[in-house]
Amino acid sequence: MVLLTNGRPKHISQGEFEIGVNEAGSISTILGSCVATCLYDDVARVGGMNHFLLPEGIGNTASFGVNAMELLINEIIKNGGVRSRLCAKVFGGARMIAGLSDVGARNAVFVTEFLAKEGIKCVGQSLGGTQARRVEFWPADGRARQRLLGETQLVEKAPPPPKPVSNDVELF
Q: What is the pTM of this model?
A: 0.79
- Tens digits of residue pLDDT in 100-155: 678 889 989 999 999 999 999 999 999 999 889 999 999 988 999 999 987 655 55
Indicate whether 156 pLDDT > 60.
Answer: no
Rounded-to-integer distance, Cα 21 and Cα 3, Å? 9
The answer on pLDDT for 12 being more than 50 is: yes
> Which residues are the active-site residues?
34
Give the C-alpha separation, 62 to 53, whole Å. 9
Find the range with the poorest average confidence among 9-18, 54-63, 76-85: 54-63
**In the chain, what are the domains?**
10-151 (3.30.1330.200)
Rounded-to-integer distance, Cα 17 and Cα 22, Å: 17
**Distance, CA of 37 to CA of 11 (rounded, Å):** 14
* Single-letter amino acid code for the residue at 1: M
